[in-house]
């Protein structure tokens, strides 16, 4: 197997040009440093003592969104925005659909609302399961101290066994088949319309959902038991989760129902302080009174912060406007979960980790499994609801459109869509705040903390890659997620600059899992 | 679906040069209608799993950013010619990791994979146009993809 990262442009075989059409085998050379320009790249700047002054985590932003959508019919937004993201198109589709409801001032009939939430719960179940086993797994199932080459999805499969891996894939396939049944296709659905959904649910469809939902609940319980036996029974893992290196005392934001319980699909947005007290509770269309964005010269991403507190820099505590979204934040910002098994797990979570709120970033993995159980149970509840097969699934809009905001809880955190149109419903202005923007300031703080812990007097430890990777993996940030260019996966690169700005060390994890310096 | 050979075109038509795979799929449909089993996907990461299953030979059309070749240059590679690190999030998972996971789980994945990838300039500008050199590569890569599919099909026939 060729190690592409080792090859330099000079030594690499020359590519065949497009002028010739003879099939010729070639190799590809990719310089991760170049490939990663702005893609998950970490820049560390040292002071004159060789200790960390600042560390930056850079992520790319897709360019031109506002310009692209201006002048297009608002009804196209659920399709356009879902095509932007290759990872969570369903979240964009649903946020856009809800923004259209608001734009056209129309309330979907009860069956349509339930179908949407059922569809969305199916998506959350599928996404959370995949993330836990295959993507978060390397940190806990394989273990933080395992050799770098094993800390990947193949290492997870080796640890849990092929049968469990196959079970995950089979469950996922069944969930995606249900999504296709309702949404037309599993990715890039065509379900949402202003005022309802494009397809009703039949009694046969309902029966299929009931069967899969029952199995999904069982699967989620199995997953929670796996987490508890692998992680919670290992005191080293628990120590790691609760260690200061992965702890930030910030605000938390999440969507809640009328009883302040987590809801992925709809509700009010609730913010709690670092002490766990309610700081604000607001409707989606009030978000601009509570959320603002800060720009830094070194990053494309805008850093969201709580507007009433203002931007006070990358700082923790009650005075700082930095807040956090995603599974841990949702549990912190709520007062419970609406389904019985998940509620039991919710109570155990806080009892084990010392009460609310939990500030440990790595606890996101546990919170995600608890949410997996909630999503599966919610699926089961909705699938059993007799009203969900009511054929009335659309309220036709009659009002003149002007402005609409739609918010959902994506797997990776709160997702805002905001559109303004002319009276014909043609987009004049659009704004999205995605989960990673909400979390960007806290991610930057996590990266800096890891860098400060592992770089002393100019000495850069290889362990910094593991620490940083673990810190941001828990947030599961989005990075220009719609592009498909090979190789698709992205190595983590850390560059360390001295006080004069010169690069003194560059570390990256290569295809074989080894850490290399240049 | 059980196909002896499949051409899988990856890309996103909304994102400048990332539209390359979609453009090649259109060209194949127009110039070689019904001649190959063609699949077009905008998905990424593990969402590609279903697209790479149940086929003996796979021809993948995609874009690549190596920054070592002129824009529009074509790379023809086999799966084993590329190593890439494991991803830490769905946003980091690529085609190769998906194939590795599928093999590890004993899923029916292709015995042979060839990748036709064209060097591109920009894959992050929404609504951006394809670079002229990338666009110029579309007809040739479409023909090459069909050639590879035929070659795989005839090899399969010889083995029967």
CATH number for position A207:
1.10.645.10
| Chain B CB contacts of A140 below 8 Å | none
The CATH number that applies at residue B117 is 3.40.50.1450
Subunit contact B76:A26, Cβ cutoff 8 A: yes
Which residue in A463, A401, A409 sits closest to A257, CA to CA? A409
**A333 CA: distance to closest CA in chain B (Å):** 24
Q: Specify whether A40 is located in the same domain as A155.
A: no
| Chain A CB contacts of B42 below 8 Å | 83, 86, 187-188, 482, 484
Range of the domain at B117: 3-159
For residue A157, tell me if it sits in a domain. Answer: yes
Instruction: Give the helix/strand (H/E) hosting A302.
Output: strand A302-306
Of all residues in chain A, the percent with pLDDT exceeding 90 is 55
Q: Specify whether A230 is located in the same domain as A130.
A: yes
Among A15, A91, A513, the strongest candidate for a mutation testing the B interface, having the largest count of B CBs within 10 A, is A15
Q: Specify whether A154 is located in the same domain as A221.
A: yes
Closest chain B CA to residue A127: B90
Neighbours of A312 (CB within 10 A): 13
Rounded distance between C-alpha atoms, residue A18 and residue B141, angstroms: 7
Between B4 and A515, the higher pLDDT residue: B4
For residue A229, tell me if it sits in a domain. Answer: yes
**A479 CA: distance to closest CA in chain B (Å):** 6
Residue A481 has pLDDT above 50, yes or no: no
Residue A241 has pLDDT above 50, yes or no: yes
Assign A434 a pLDDT band (cuts: 50, 70, 90): confident
Q: Is any Cβ of chain B less than 8 angstroms from the Cβ of A513?
A: yes
Which stretches of chain B score pLDDT less than 70?
1, 82-93, 159-160
Between A69 and A138, the higher pLDDT residue: A69
pLDDT at position A218: 97
Q: Specify whether A155 is located in the same domain as A31.
A: no
Residue A518 has pLDDT above 80, yes or no: no
pLDDT at position A27: 44
CB-based contacts of A400, cutoff 8 Å, min separation 6: A423
Rounded distance between C-alpha atoms, residue A324 and residue A444, angstroms: 12
**A15 CA: distance to closest CA in chain B (Å):** 5
Q: Specify whether A213 is located in the same domain as A160.
A: yes
Subunit contact B15:A492, Cβ cutoff 8 A: no
What does DSSP assign to residue B87? Answer: P
pLDDT digits over A170-227, tens only? 999 999 999 999 999 777 899 999 999 999 999 999 999 999 999 999 999 999 999 9
pLDDT at position A143: 78
Q: Which long-range contacts (CB under 8 A, 24 or more apart) does A181-185 make?
A: A181/A205, A181/A208, A182/A115, A182/A118, A182/A119, A183/A90, A183/A93, A183/A119
Q: Specify whether A229 is located in the same domain as A115.
A: yes
**A208 CA: distance to closest CA in chain B (Å):** 21
**B157 CA: distance to closest CA in chain A (Å):** 19
Q: Which of residues 463-482 of A touch B (CB under 8 A)?
A: 469, 472-473, 476-482
Q: What are the φ and ψ backbone dihedral angles of A406, each rounded to 5 degrees?
A: -125, 135
Q: Where are the alpha helices (DSSP H) in A85-234?
A: 89-103, 110-130, 137, 153-160, 162-183, 203-227
pLDDT at position A86: 63
Neighbours of A199 (CB within 10 A): 17
Subunit contact B92:A152, Cβ cutoff 8 A: no
Instruction: Give the helix/strand (H/E) hosting B115.
Output: strand B112-119
Q: Is any Cβ of chain B less than 8 angstroms from the Cβ of A492?
A: yes
pLDDT digits over A79-138, tens only? 998 887 666 889 999 999 999 999 999 999 999 999 999 999 999 999 999 888 877 777
Q: Tell me the two tokens of residue A89.
A: 């198109």
Task: Find out whether the peptide bond into B108 is cis, omega within 30 degrees of 0.
Answer: no
Subunit contact A134:B46, Cβ cutoff 8 A: yes
The tally of domains found in chain A comes to 2
Instruction: Give mean pLDDT, residues A233-262.
Output: 94
Range of the domain at A388: 107-247+360-396
Between A497 and A128, the higher pLDDT residue: A128
Tell me how many residue pairs between chain A and chain B have CB atoms under 8 A apart: 273
Subunit contact A510:B144, Cβ cutoff 8 A: no
CB-nearest partner of A153 from B83, B101, B107: B101
Instruction: Give mean pLDDT, residues A412-437.
Output: 94
Q: Specify whether A200 is located in the same domain as A132.
A: yes
Of A240-249, A275-284, A312-321, A370-379, the poorest mean pLDDT is in A240-249
Instruction: Give mean pLDDT, residues A279-293.
Output: 97
Q: Specify whether A213 is located in the same domain as A126.
A: yes
CB-based contacts of B122, cutoff 8 Å, min separation 6: B16, B17, B128, B131
pLDDT at position B160: 57
| Chain B CB contacts of A129 below 8 Å | none
| Chain B CB contacts of A18 below 8 Å | 72-74, 118, 136-137, 140-141
| Chain A CB contacts of B83 below 8 Å | 1-5, 510-512
Rounded distance between C-alpha atoms, residue A482 and residue B4, angstroms: 29
Q: Is any Cβ of chain B less than 8 angstroms from the Cβ of A66?
A: no
pLDDT at position A10: 29
pLDDT digits over A339-364, tens only? 999 999 999 999 999 999 999 999 99
| Chain A CB contacts of B95 below 8 Å | 486-488
Which residues are registered as beta bridge partners of B74? Answer: A16, B118
Between B35 and A479, the higher pLDDT residue: B35
Instruction: Give mean pLDDT, residues A243-269.
Output: 96
**B22 CA: distance to closest CA in chain A (Å):** 11
pLDDT at position B45: 73
CB-based contacts of A12, cutoff 8 Å, min separation 6: A27, A29, B68
The tally of domains found in chain B comes to 1
Rounded distance between C-alpha atoms, residue A261 and residue A466, angstroms: 35
Q: Specify whether A115 is located in the same domain as A218.
A: yes
| Chain A CB contacts of B82 below 8 Å | 2, 4, 27-28, 486-487
For residue A291, tell me if it sits in a domain. Answer: no
Q: What are the φ and ψ backbone dihedral angles of A206, each rounded to 5 degrees?
A: -60, -40
Q: Mean of the per-residue pLDDT values for chain A?
A: 85
User: Is residue A512 classed exposed, middle or buried when 0-12, 13-18 and 19+ CB atoms within 10 A define those classes?
Assistant: middle
Q: Specify whether A375 is located in the same domain as A492.
A: no
pLDDT at position A230: 87
**A258 CA: distance to closest CA in chain B (Å):** 32
Provide the Cα torsion B104, B109, B111, B113; round to 10°.
Answer: -110
pLDDT at position B1: 52
pLDDT digits over A382-398, tens only? 999 999 999 999 999 99
pLDDT at position A509: 62
The answer to whether the CB of A316 falls within 8 A of the CB of A442 is no
Closest chain A CA to residue B134: A18
Among B13, B83, B128, the strongest candidate for a mutation testing the A interface, having the largest count of A CBs within 10 A, is B83
Closest chain B CA to residue A29: B66
CB-nearest partner of B83 from A3, A23, A130: A3
For residue A409, tell me if it sits in a domain. Answer: no
Among B22, B84, B137, the strongest candidate for a mutation testing the A interface, having the largest count of A CBs within 10 A, is B84
Q: Specify whether A236 is located in the same domain as A365.
A: yes
């Amino acid at each position: 197997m060729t190690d592409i990262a080792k090859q330099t442009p000079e030594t690499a075989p020359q590519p065949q040009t497009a002028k010739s059409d003879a099939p010729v085998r070639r190799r590809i050379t990719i310089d991760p440093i170049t490939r990663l320009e702005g893609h998950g790249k970490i820049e560390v700047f040292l002071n004159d003592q060789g200790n960390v002054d600042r560390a930056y985590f850079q992520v790319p932003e897709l360019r031109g969104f506002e310009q692209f959508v201006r002048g297009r019919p608002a009804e196209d937004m659920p399709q356009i925005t879902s095509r932007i993201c290759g990872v969570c198109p369903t979240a964009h589709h649903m946020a856009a659909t809800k923004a259209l409801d608001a734009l056209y001032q129309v309330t979907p009939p009860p069956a349509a609302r339930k179908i949407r939430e059922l569809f969305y719960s199916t998506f959350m179940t599928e996404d959370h399961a995949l993330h836990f086993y295959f993507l978060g797994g390397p940190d806990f199932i394989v273990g933080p101290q395992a050799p770098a080459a094993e800390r990947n999805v193949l290492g997870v499969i080796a640890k849990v066994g092929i049968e469990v891996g196959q079970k995950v894939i089979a469950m996922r396939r069944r969930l995606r088949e249900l999504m296709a049944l309702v949404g037309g296709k599993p990715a890039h659905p065509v379900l949402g319309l202003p005022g309802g959904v494009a397809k009703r649910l039949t009694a046969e469809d309902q029966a299929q959902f009931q069967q899969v939902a029952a199995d999904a609940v069982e699967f989620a319980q199995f997953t929670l038991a796996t987490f508890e036996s692998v992680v919670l029974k290992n005191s080293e893992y628990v120590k790691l989760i609760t260690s200061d290196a992965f702890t930030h005392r910030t605000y938390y934001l999440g969507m809640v129902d009328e009883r302040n319980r987590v809801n992925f699909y709809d509700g009010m947005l609730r913010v709690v302080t670092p002490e766990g007290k309610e700081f604000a509770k607001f409707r989606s269309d009030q978000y601009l009174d509570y959320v603002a964005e800060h720009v830094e010269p070194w990053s494309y991403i805008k850093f969201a912060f709580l507007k009433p507190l203002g931007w006070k820099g990358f700082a923790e505590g009650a005075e700082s406007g930095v807040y956090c979204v995603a599974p841990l934040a949702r549990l912190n910002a709520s007062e419970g979960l609406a389904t019985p098994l998940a509620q039991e797990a919710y109570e155990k979570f806080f009892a084990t980790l010392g009460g609310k709120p939990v500030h440990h970033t790595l606890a996101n993995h546990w919170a995600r499994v608890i949410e997996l159980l909630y999503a599966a149970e919610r699926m089961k509840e909705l699938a059993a609801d007799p009203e969900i097969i009511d054929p009335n699934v659309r309220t036709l809009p009659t009002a003149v459109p002007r402005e609409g905001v739609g918010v959902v809880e994506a797997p990776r955190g709160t997702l805002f869509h905001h559109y303004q149109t002319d009276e014909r419903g043609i987009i004049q202005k659009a704004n999205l705040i995605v989960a990673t923007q909400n979390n960007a300031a806290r991610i930057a703080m996590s990266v800096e903390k890891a860098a400060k812990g592992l770089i002393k007097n100019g000495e850069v430890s290889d362990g910094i890659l593991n620490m940083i990777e673990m810190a941001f993996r828990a947030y599961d940030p989005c990075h220009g997620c719609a592009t498909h260019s090979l190789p698709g996966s992205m190595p983590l690169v850390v560059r360390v600059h001295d006080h004069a700005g010169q690069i003194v060390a560059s570390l990256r994890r290569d295809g074989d899992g080894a850490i290399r310096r240049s | 679906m059980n196909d002896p050979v499949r051409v899988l075109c990856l890309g996103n038509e909304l994102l400048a040069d990332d539209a390359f795979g979609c453009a090649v799929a259109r060209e194949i449909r127009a110039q070689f209608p019904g001649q190959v089993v063609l699949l077009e996907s905008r998905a990424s990461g593990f969402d590609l799993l279903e697209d790479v299953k149940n086929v003996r030979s796979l021809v993948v059309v995609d874009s690549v950013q190596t920054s070592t070749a002129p824009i529009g240059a074509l790379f023809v590679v086999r799966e084993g010619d590329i190593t890439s690190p494991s991803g830490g999030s769905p946003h980091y998972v690529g085609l190769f990791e998906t194939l590795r996971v599928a093999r590890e789980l004993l899923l029916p994945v292709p015995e042979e994979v060839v990748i036709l990838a064209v060097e591109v300039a920009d894959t992050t500008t929404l609504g951006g146009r394809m670079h002229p050199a990338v666009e110029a590569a579309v007809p040739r890569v479409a023909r090459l993809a069909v050639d590879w599919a035929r070659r795989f099909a005839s090899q399969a026939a010889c083995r029967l």
